[in-house]
Each structure stands twice: as structure tokens, then as C-alpha cells.
């Protein structure tokens, strides 16, 4: 562990006594009554009368959790929600899919609505302590009123408002530690590494020189192990005496043993979060205000997130017929990244790729070649190794520790989110509401590349990227509600316009003049200076009709017309709609008084929504890029060939569900089936090579895709009395994906081949057969269609199967899918008197993941890169049965090639979060002027089990892994009080 990090933690040991203040609730898992009013599109509605599918997460499930991004609160929140866990980078959120992946080229992210208006910003600008509820809308009946932006579902964020005729302050404060969650893959040590590399060289020599004697091949490997491969000898024996006949020289002693690249830069960070808020008001006006501060130091040095936010939400009933209100949220954030971003895959500037993949014989530091002592400069600072003596897979000329400490990458953001509304009661049954929201985000990213080591060696570099983003939303909504006897009719009609602009400027300079000064004036060469403006607008009209009779028979219909500047004039406008119906069976006479069934509702819906979230605002236009000059002559470059027919992807959704509450509402649940078909799916349409089109493809609406599945939600009060309450909940989802139409026979992209009848995430790979017991060769199933009757030397028969040692003759086949068979969450909350214990587990059964990281550690020819301990299972003796080929320098391409060998079961079980708390008796603390007081310990990402140590099967939706900043384990200690 880094010593600096240790000192910081010790010096702040008071975190055991820090505070978080929240309103204490004796029963935070209280059953929601069907008469509860919940947030829906452009309004509110009784929960029991809703015909759509939604999930609500209230403040009680968010409070006390050490999260910086509110999306993290949806992990395990309900059926149909699939989460790709965010990275460990402080401030980052999670990726979310609602009922599967519905698009290939267009965004799959749900629409974000904050306090009734679209929010295109980053949710790390919202303080989780300010959130009243999160509501996830999943089907067309719930989302259709958001039209062309609702195909991926909608997440509605509602912030807290003041309470009438009350006044209270709430202090939220917690502090804790941040550490690495998933442990690293097991890797071999230094002594074994030399022997393994020698073995691969000797075996390869035997094949390339078949007439040479074994003794001669052994000697060749001994003589060339260091000079011809690894280039570093950490032992006190000559290079040509280090490994003899496959054994490490018994008299060899290490000159030094400081080979840990992780310890200096991966340790333990500190997290603190503090919010003080006021909620109050009289019978006419209310106010909620909060001031929050969050500071998280990641467990990788120089990774951090700091946020300061001030919120004011005010409402005033000026007249009986007139109400106004406003929401203001000012936020300043600062985010530090470790070495130009620790989330990418570069082996050179990524701490994870480096510390995982560096061979165990290379030290970060320089040493005396004779004594092995570490070397220091005249100031007493350690001298770092520049990598000049390393194998080809050990990143010669780079040093991740040195670069991490010298380089810098920081982003500062300044956000102002404002929302003003006015409500007019025109008639007793008629209400008019207008809502105007303006959001401003200014973001400045600064990077510095040092001139001592790395990309900017000898010169130094600096960059600046600035974004100025503004968006404005204005809607006007008329709502008419009429009750007559048992009939209840609500009609809503509205208009909304949205305007978005983003200015971007990027500059990059090199050739640094002075040390420790990183502004542009200190760099001579102006390599890049560019800017652009992006704009888009949308205008919408919408209406909704709700009808119910005695809250027993329910009908609902919605229509929205959207016009988007992203599309050409002729296809700019489109309509989206939904219809839903429900039957509250428990209100029928034949179930009245039934002690077994308390609530039973059958509901169904169908509708069409859209997706206009293209990666460009100008898909229908042909675009050119400026700045491609030839000397003093100006030049432009064609970058996109527009298609005036490109338009929305449309998703047709059907949904049917049964909701129930049984045994005096102690058992609750929902069973649901959905079918969602995306029409006009955007795919890259292949163009002739001689057409001169960039990338030889044009994005067109040429495909269809279906997602269909089942969702199950169950919760039960196992024990419920005055002193004890024990509640358990479980969610489960299973779904299938299928491409039902495609403009071409197939489309291959990496490890996937898309074609009609297959799913989006089906793996298309070489078929790995195994290892030949006779000689340890890697074997693939032979493609007999391309190589019929082959008698080549690289084709053989094993157990009656035609196989090949040549990966280029291997048969490609489908090998399962990244889509799991079943996934979900189960949780429990146990209350005993003033104690509360809760835990939430995520799980997944089935699905495949392609473990690239593991594959890189199983190289059949160690040349400086790390090796997994599974290498010990390699083939060494004729007749040996194993799944690891012989180490062999001559067959390394085949052994390492992409194939089904690297697929692994993606099943896992994770303890996602847990907490334990104690609430003090109000009678004891009221003399202190305190109305509630609670001590708690809370943790995120506490435990996981999967098929392989080091694997993160929950990291992506498409079944691939990266060398990313692995998620953090966060444990906080706090206290909550209200006064």
C-alpha cells in the first residue's frame, strides 16, 4: 500500500465518529398503499389506477448509501433493470438497460427526467441526499407521453420539497474508506517465470530445428533466455547460467525483489459526504434548501471526485387559483483521472492494464547492477526504471508509476440547473401548468504529459478541452379532471419545446519551456486548435386520457407528436402512442371480504415509442471536416455521407401483468410478460468500396429486433410485530433477444456476427477443441467446408474429430450469448426494536463473457508479460490430459488466437450493499433538541463470487471485458440526526 495513502487515513481516524442526518423511520420498508400517489409523465396518479409498468425507489432506499451518482441507487431496484457496474473512478455512474438492448448504433440509455423536464446532463451533478424518489417507467403505457425519446425507458428523478407547517434541519454526514473490490488474477512469481519462458523457447526451437538434439535445444534456450528475450536478470548468476535444463540455478540469489507495480499507486482512499438541509413552510409557502459537499479519493492515486452543491426548491400558493415554484441547483465538480483516464485499454497509460500485465521480473525502480541496491538522485528521490531493458511484452520505455505521478488529467465542471413553474386553477376541474427549465454546464478538461517518460518524452505536452452546454425546455400542460358518480375522467393536453446547444474548443500544444508550469504559454508548438458548435431542437404536442370506474376498471391512452431537427424535413415529424387497460379484480363482489386476497389487478398495454438518440445531430446531411490542409493550401475531408431518409427507430411494446397483495398485504408481487420490437433499426449499410464513402457504410433504418421476456417481483413480511419486522424481497428477469430483419445476410463485428434469427450478443468465434495429448498442440475444429478432405500436416484426427493446429483453418461457429438466462436481486431488511440490518444481493445465472484479460495472461510464449498460474497446468508429457497447450514459441499465434477457449460462464453472486444502524429513542434525545438520531455503518460492493478470480462478469452488457478501473468497495461510518 502507498505510504502516503496510509498516512492520510491515519490522520483522519475521526471518521468513526462522523455524522449523517436523515429523518429516522421506525419502519422504512412500510408497505405502500394502493392509494399512494406516484409520479408519472407530466403529472401524478394513484398507484392502484396505473395501467403501465414502473418501479419506484423512495428516499429511504437511497439514504445512508455512499454513492456519488443517483443511478447507482437503481442497481437491484427492480425487475427488468440490468446494470453494468460502473468503474471505480470516483464520480462515475453505472450503465443501465431497461428490458434489454433495443438498438445497435443508437444510444440504449434511458431518458432522464428531473423534476418534470428532460435532463441531458450528468447525474453526478445531483446530490443523492436531495432526491425524494426515482421512478423507472418501463413500458409504452408509462413512457409514450415522452414519444421519440422513450424507447429505452424513462428514469424520473424527483427532488425534495419543503413540508407545510413544519420546520426542521437535517444533517447528513458520513466518512469512510475506499478500496479495491475485485481481487487480481493469480499470477506466477519471478523464479517460475524464467523457467516458463525458457521452456517456451526450448519447445519452439525443437519444432523450428527438428534435427537438433534435445541437449542442443536446451543450451540454445539457456544462452538466449535473457539476451534474446527477457533482457533482465534479477539473480546473481551470469545470464547463460540462470536456467539450466529447465531448472533455475540452485545457487542463484535475487539481487532485489521489489517487483510490485500496484502497491505504489493502488491503495486505500478516503470518502466523505456531508449535507445540511432545511425543510419547512407555513400553510401557503414551503422551502427546501441544502448545501452539500462530497470528496472521494479513489484507491488509485490521483483519481478523485469533489462536488459542492447548493439547492433551493421553493413553492408558494399565492392565491387559491395560483401557485408558483422554482428549483435551483448550483454545482461545482472536480474530477481527477489517473494518467489520462484509467478506464481505457492502453497498456501504457492504464494502471490496471500495466499492473496486471507486467512480468514479475521487472522492477519499477533502478538498481545497482552489482549490489541490487535501489538508486536515488542527489535529492534523495528514488530513480525510476525507464524500461530500456525489458521483453517485448513489457512496455519498453514506459513506467506507469512514474507517469502516473508526473502526468495530470483533471476536469472541472460548473453547473446551474434552474426550473420555474406556475399553476393556474382556471376552473374547479381545469388546471394549467407551465414549466420552464434552463440548464448550463461549463466543463474544462486539462491534461499534462511530462517530458521525462511516456508519450511526451523529451518535449512535454498540454491540452485543453472546453464544453459550454445550454439546454432550454418549456412546456405547457392543461389537465381536466371530472368525477361523476363512480366515473373518473382525466384529460391532459400539452406542448413542449426543447433547445440544445454545445460549444466545444480543443487545443493541444507541445515543447515545454519551464518545469512545473502547465499553461499554454509555457509550450512552444501549437499542434492542434479546433472548435465546433452542435445544436438540436425538438418540438412536441401530446395528450393523454385516463378513465376509471370506481378504480376497478381502468383505461388509458396517450398520443405524442414529435418533430426533431436531427432528421430531414420530409421525415421530421412522427407520432407515438399507447393504450392501456386494467381490471382490479379484488374490487369485484366475489372477492370482497376475502382474507387471502387483499389486492389483485390484471393490466395490459400496447404502444409505440421512438429513439432519436443518434450519435450525430446531422445524420441526414453530408458533412465535411476542415483543417486537413496541405502546407499553406486549405483542405477539407468528406467525413459523412448523409441519408435524407434516416429517421427514428420505433419500438412497439406490449405488456401484460398480474399484481397481487395477499395475507393482509404481507405478501406482495407482480408477474409480468413483455414483448418489444424495434423497427427501423439503424445499421451500417455496406456501400461499394469505390463509392468513396468514409468507412464504406451509411447508417440506415434497415433492421428489426425483438426483446421479450418475463419479470417476477416478490416481497414478504416474514415477521411483523411491535418489536420485530423481517422483510425479504426478490426480483428476477429472463428475456430473449432476436434480430428479425437485416439488410444483408450477416454483419461481423469483432467476436459477434449479426444475422437474422440470432441475438445481438451471440458470440461468433473459432471453435476451440482442446489440447492434443500426444504433443500438447492447440487444436481447433477444422472448417471442412473451406478445407474439404485436407491432408495437410496441420490437420489431424483426434477421437474421430477432424481438427487443425492452424487457427486460420478453424471453423467459426456460434458459442452462446452474453445475455444471461436469468438475473435479478434479492434483499432483506431486519428490524429489532431500534436496530436495523439490511442487505442486497445481485445475481446472474448463465450468459457468457469473453475474458480477454485472462487470455492475455495465458500467452504460450512469455516475453515480458505476466502469466496466470493456470500456466502450471500446461502440457509437458505425452499422454497428459489438460486444457492448456504446451508452452511453445512457434505455436504462440495459434494458442493465443481468439476462440471459444476464452469464453467463461458469466454467472455471479454479489453482495451489492449492506448496512446496520441503531436509532436512539426520541424520548432520550429530545432534551438535546434533537428529534431523531441514528448511528450506522454502510457498505457498497462488499463481496462477489464468480467463475474466476479477477473476473468482472457484470462489467458490460455485450460480454466483453476491459482493463478498466475496477469498481470500488466503499465502507462508511456515520450518524444521522434531525433537529
Three-state DSSP at 198 gives: helix
Burial status of residue 543 (CB atoms within 10 A of its CB: 0-12, 13-18, 19 or more): middle
pLDDT, mean of each 10-residue run, the chain (979 residues): 35 30 38 70 92 92 88 92 90 91 92 93 90 95 94 95 94 96 96 97 94 96 96 96 96 96 95 96 96 96 96 97 97 86 60 92 96 95 94 91 93 96 97 97 96 93 96 97 96 97 96 94 93 94 97 97 94 95 95 91 97 85 79 78 89 97 96 97 76 73 95 97 96 96 83 92 97 95 90 90 95 97 97 96 97 95 96 97 95 88 97 96 89 95 96 93 91 94
Q: Is there a contact between 800 and 782 (Cβ–Cβ < 8 Å)?
A: no
What value does the CA radius of gyration of the chain take, rounded to a whole number of Å?
31
Looking at residue 22, its pLDDT comes to 35
Q: What is the 3-state secondary structure (H, E, C) of 389-423?
A: CCCCCCCCCCCHHHHHHHCEEEEEEEEEEEEEEEE
Backbone angles phi, psi at 24, to 5 degrees: -70, 140
Three-state DSSP at 922 gives: helix
Q: Residue 129: count other Cβ atoms within 10 Å of its Cβ.
A: 26
Residue of 952, 957, 938 lying closest to 175 (CA atoms): 938
Q: Domain boundaries in the chain?
A: 24-152
Residue of 120, 834, 864 lying closest to 534 (CA atoms): 120
d(CA 946, CA 185): 12
> Could you tell me the three cell numbers for 436?
420552464
Q: Is there a contact between 727 and 716 (Cβ–Cβ < 8 Å)?
A: yes
Q: Residue 524: count other Cβ atoms within 10 Å of its Cβ.
A: 12
Please report how the helices 214-224 and 190-208 are oriented relative to each other, as an axis angle in degrees rounded to 10.
130
Three-state DSSP at 860 gives: coil
Three-state DSSP at 352 gives: helix
Residue of 481, 516, 476 lying closest to 497 (CA atoms): 476
Residues in Cβ contact with 630 at an 8 Å cutoff, skipping those fewer than 6 apart: none
Strand order in the sheet with 778-781: 768-771, 778-781, 801-804, 795-798
Residue carrying C-alpha cell 409523465? 41
d(CA 357, CA 376): 26
Residue of 480, 491, 464 lying closest to 408 (CA atoms): 464
d(CA 361, CA 191): 8
Q: Is there a contact between 646 and 700 (Cβ–Cβ < 8 Å)?
A: yes
d(CA 289, CA 329): 10
d(CA 62, CA 44): 21
Instruction: Provide the Cα torsion 214, 215, 216, 222; round to 10°.
Output: 110
Both ends of the chain: CA-CA distance in Å?
A: 41
Residues in Cβ contact with 361 at an 8 Å cutoff, skipping those fewer than 6 apart: 190, 193, 194, 230, 232, 234, 259
Q: Are strands 111-114 and 154-159 parallel, antiparallel or unpaired?
A: parallel
d(CA 902, CA 355): 21
Residue of 825, 824, 690, 676 lying closest to 760 (CA atoms): 676
Q: Is there a contact between 976 and 19 (Cβ–Cβ < 8 Å)?
A: yes
Fold annotation for 24-152: Ferric Hydroxamate Uptake Protein; Chain A, domain 1 (2.170.130)
> Could you tell me the three cell numbers for 164?
407545510
Looking at residue 696, its pLDDT comes to 66
Residues in the chain: 979
Residue carrying C-alpha cell 478516503? 270
Looking at residue 92, its pLDDT comes to 87
> Could you tell me the three cell numbers for 173?
454526514
Inter-CA distances, 445 with 457, 503, 829, Å: 22, 14, 43
Residue of 384, 357, 374, 362 lying closest to 226 (CA atoms): 362
Residues in Cβ contact with 387 at an 8 Å cutoff, skipping those fewer than 6 apart: 362, 394, 395, 396, 397, 398, 399
Residues in Cβ contact with 722 at an 8 Å cutoff, skipping those fewer than 6 apart: none
Three-state DSSP at 455 gives: coil
Q: Is there a contact between 915 and 148 (Cβ–Cβ < 8 Å)?
A: no
H or E, element range at 667: strand 667-686
Three-state DSSP at 797 gives: strand
Residues in Cβ contact with 926 at an 8 Å cutoff, skipping those fewer than 6 apart: none
Q: Are strands 54-58 and 131-137 parallel, antiparallel or unpaired?
A: antiparallel
Q: Residue 375: count other Cβ atoms within 10 Å of its Cβ.
A: 13
> Could you tell me the three cell numbers for 548?
376509471
Distance of CA 640 to the CA centre of its chain: 29
> Could you tell me the three cell numbers for 246?
529447465
> Could you tell me the three cell numbers for 101?
438492448
Residues in Cβ contact with 174 at an 8 Å cutoff, skipping those fewer than 6 apart: 18, 19, 20, 64, 66, 272, 273, 274, 938, 972, 973, 974
d(CA 197, CA 175): 47
Residue carrying C-alpha cell 389487478? 601
Q: Is there a contact between 196 and 188 (Cβ–Cβ < 8 Å)?
A: yes
Amino acid at each position: 500500500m502507498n505510504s502516503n495513502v496510509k498516512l492520510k487515513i491515519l490522520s483522519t481516524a475521526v471518521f468513526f465518529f462522523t455524522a449523517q442526518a436523515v429523518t429516522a423511520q421506525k419502519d422504512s420498508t412500510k408497505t405502500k398503499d394502493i392509494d399512494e400517489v406516484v409520479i408519472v409523465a407530466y403529472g401524478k396518479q394513484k398507484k392502484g389506477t396505473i395501467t403501465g409498468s414502473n418501479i419506484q425507489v423512495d428516499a429511504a432506499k437511497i439514504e445512508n448509501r455512499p454513492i456519488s451518482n443517483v443511478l447507482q441507487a437503481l442497481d437491484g431496484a427492480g425487475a427488468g433493470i440490468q446494470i453494468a457496474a460502473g468503474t471505480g473512478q470516483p464520480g462515475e455512474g453505472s450503465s443501465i438497460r431497461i428490458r434489454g438492448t433495443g438498438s445497435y448504433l443508437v444510444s440504449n440509455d434511458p431518458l432522464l427526467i428531473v423534476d418534470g423536464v428532460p435532463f441531458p446532463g450528468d447525474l453526478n451533478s445531483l446530490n443523492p441526499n436531495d432526491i425524494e424518489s426515482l421512478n423507472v417507467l418501463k413500458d409504452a403505457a408509462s413512457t409514450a407521453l415522452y414519444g421519440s425519446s422513450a424507447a429505452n425507458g424513462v428514469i424520473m428523478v424527483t427532488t425534495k420539497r419543503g413540508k407545510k407547517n413544519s420546520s426542521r434541519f437535517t444533517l447528513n454526514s458520513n466518512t469512510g474508506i475506499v478500496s479495491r473490490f475485485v481481487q487480481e488474477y493469480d499470477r506466477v512469481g519471478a523464479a517460475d517465470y524464467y523457467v516458463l519462458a525458457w521452456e517456451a523457447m526450448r519447445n519452439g526451437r525443437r519444432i523450428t530445428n527438428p534435427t537438433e538434439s534435445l541437449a542442443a535445444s536446451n543450451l540454445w534456450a539457456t544462452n538466449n533466455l535473457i539476451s534474446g528475450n527477457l533482457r533482465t536478470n534479477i539473480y546473481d548468476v551470469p545470464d547463460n547460467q540462470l536456467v539450466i535444463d529447465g531448472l533455475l540455478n540452485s545457487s542463484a540469489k535475487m539481487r532485489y525483489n521489489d517487483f510490485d507495480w500496484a502497491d505504489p499507486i493502488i491503495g486505500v482512499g478516503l470518502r466523505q459526504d456531508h449535507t445540511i438541509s432545511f425543510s419547512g413552510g407555513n400553510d401557503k409557502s414551503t422551502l427546501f434548501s441544502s448545501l452539500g459537499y462530497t470528496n472521494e479519493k479513489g484507491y488509485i492515486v490521483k483519481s478523485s471526485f469533489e462536488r459542492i452543491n447548493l439547492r433551493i426548491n421553493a413553492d408558494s400558493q399565492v392565491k387559491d387559483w395560483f401557485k408558483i415554484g422554482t428549483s435551483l441547483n448550483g454545482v461545482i465538480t472536480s474530477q481527477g483521472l489517473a494518467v489520462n483516464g484509467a478506464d481505457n485499454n492502453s497498456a501504457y497509460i492504464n494502471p490496471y492494464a500495466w499492473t496486471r500485465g507486467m512480468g514479475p521480473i521487472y522492477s519499477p525502480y533502478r538498481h545497482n547492477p552489482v549490489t541490487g541496491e535501489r538508486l536515488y538522485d542527489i535529492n534523495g528521490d528514488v530513480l525510476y526504471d525507464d524500461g530500456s531493458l525489458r521483453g517485448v511484452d513489457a512496455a519498453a520505455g514506459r513506467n506507469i508509476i512514474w507517469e502516473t505521478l508526473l502526468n495530470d488529467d483533471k476536469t472541472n465542471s460548473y453547473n446551474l440547473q434552474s426550473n420555474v413553474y406556475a399553476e393556474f386553477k382556471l376552473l374547479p376541474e381545469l388546471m394549467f401548468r407551465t414549466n420552464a427549465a434552463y440548464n448550463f454546464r461549463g466543463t474544462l478538461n486539462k491534461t499534462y504529459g511530462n517530458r521525462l517518460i511516456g508519450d511526451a518524452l523529451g518535449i512535454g505536452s498540454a491540452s485543453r478541452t472546453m464544453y459550454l452546454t445550454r439546454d432550454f425546455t418549456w412546456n405547457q400542460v392543461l389537465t381536466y379532471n371530472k368525477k361523476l358518480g363512480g366515473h373518473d375522467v382525466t384529460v391532459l393536453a400539452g406542448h413542449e419545446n426543447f433547445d440544445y446547444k454545445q460549444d466545444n474548443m480543443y487545443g493541444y500544444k507541445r515543447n515545454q519551456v519551464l518545469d512545473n508550469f502547465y499553461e499554454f504559454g509555457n509550450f512552444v508548438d501549437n499542434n492542434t486548435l479546433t472548435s465546433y458548435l452542435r445544436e438540436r431542437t425538438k418540438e412536441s404536442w401530446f395528450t393523454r386520457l385516463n378513465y376509471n370506474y370506481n378504480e376497478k376498471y381502468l383505461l388509458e391512452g396517450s398520443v405524442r407528436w414529435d418533430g426533431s431537427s436531427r432528421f430531414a424535413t420530409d421525415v421530421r415529424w412522427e407520432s407515438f402512442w399507447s393504450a392501456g387497460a386494467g381490471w382490479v379484480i379484488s374490487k369485484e363482489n366475489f372477492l370482497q371480504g376475502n382474507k387471502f386476497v387483499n389486492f389483485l389487478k390484471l393490466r395490459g398495454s400496447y404502444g409505440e415509442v421512438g429513439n432519436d438518440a443518434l450519435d450525430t445531430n446531422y445524420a441526414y446531411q453530408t458533412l465535411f471536416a476542415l483543417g486537413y490542409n496541405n502546407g499553406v493550401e486549405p483542405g477539407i475531408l468528406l467525413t459523412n455521407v448523409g441519408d435524407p431518409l434516416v429517421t427514428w427507430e420505433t419500438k412497439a411494446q406490449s405488456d401484460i401483468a398480474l399484481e397481487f397483495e395477499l395475507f393482509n398485504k404481507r405478501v406482495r408481487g407482480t408477474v409480468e410478460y413483455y414483448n418489444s420490437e424495434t423497427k427501423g433499426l439503424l445499421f451500417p449499410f455496406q456501400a461499394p468500396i469505390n463509392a468513396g464513402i468514409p468507412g464504406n457504410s451509411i447508417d440506415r433504418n434497415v433492421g428489426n429486433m425483438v426483446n421479450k421476456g418475463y419479470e417476477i417481483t416478490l416481497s414478504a413480511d416474514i415477521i411483523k410485530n411491535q418489536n420485530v419486522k423481517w422483510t425479504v424481497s426478490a426480483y428476477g428477469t429472463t428475456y430473449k433477444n432476436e434480430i428479425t430483419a437485416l439488410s444483408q445476410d450477416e454483419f461481423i463485428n469483432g467476436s459477434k456476427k449479426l444475422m437474422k434469427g440470432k441475438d445481438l450478443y451471440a458470440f461468433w468465434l473459432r471453435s476451440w477443441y482442446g489440447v492434443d495429448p500426444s504433443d500438447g498442440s492447440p487444436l481447433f475444429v477444422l472448417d471442412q467446408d473451406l478445407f474439404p478432405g485436407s491432408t495437410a500436416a496441420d490437420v489431424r484426427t483426434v477421437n474421430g474429430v477432424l481438427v487443425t493446429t492452424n487457427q486460420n483453418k478453424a471453423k467459426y461457429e456460434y458459442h452462446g450469448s452474453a445475455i444471461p438466462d436469468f438475473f435479478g436481486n434479492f434483499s432483506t431488511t431486519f428490524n429489532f426494536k431500534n436496530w436495523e440490518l439490511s442487505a442486497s444481493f445481485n445475481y446472474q445465472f448463465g450468459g457468457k463473457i469473453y475474458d480477454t484479460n485472462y487470455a492475455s495472461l495465458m500467452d504460450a510464449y512469455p516475453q515480458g508479460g505476466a502469466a496466470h498460474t493456470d500456466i502450471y497446468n500446461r502440457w509437458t508429457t505425452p499422454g497428459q490430459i489438460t486444457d492448456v497447450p504446451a508452452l511453445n514459441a512457434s505455436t504462440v499465434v495459434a494458442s493465443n488466437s481468439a476462440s471459444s477457449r476464452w469464453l467463461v460462464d458469466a454467472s455471479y453472486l454479489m453482495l451489492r450493499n449492506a448496512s446496520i444502524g441503531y436509532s436512539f429513542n426520541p424520548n432520550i434525545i429530545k432534551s438535546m433538541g434533537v428529534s431523531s438520531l441514528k448511528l450506522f455503518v454502510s457498505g457498497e460492493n462488499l463481496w462477489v463470487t464468480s467463475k474466476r478470480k479477477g473476473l468482472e462478469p457484470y462489467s458490460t452488457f455485450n460480454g466483453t471485458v476491459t482493463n478498466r478501473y475496477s469498481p470500488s468497495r466503499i465502507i462508511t461510518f456515520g450518524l444521522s440526526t434531525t433537529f
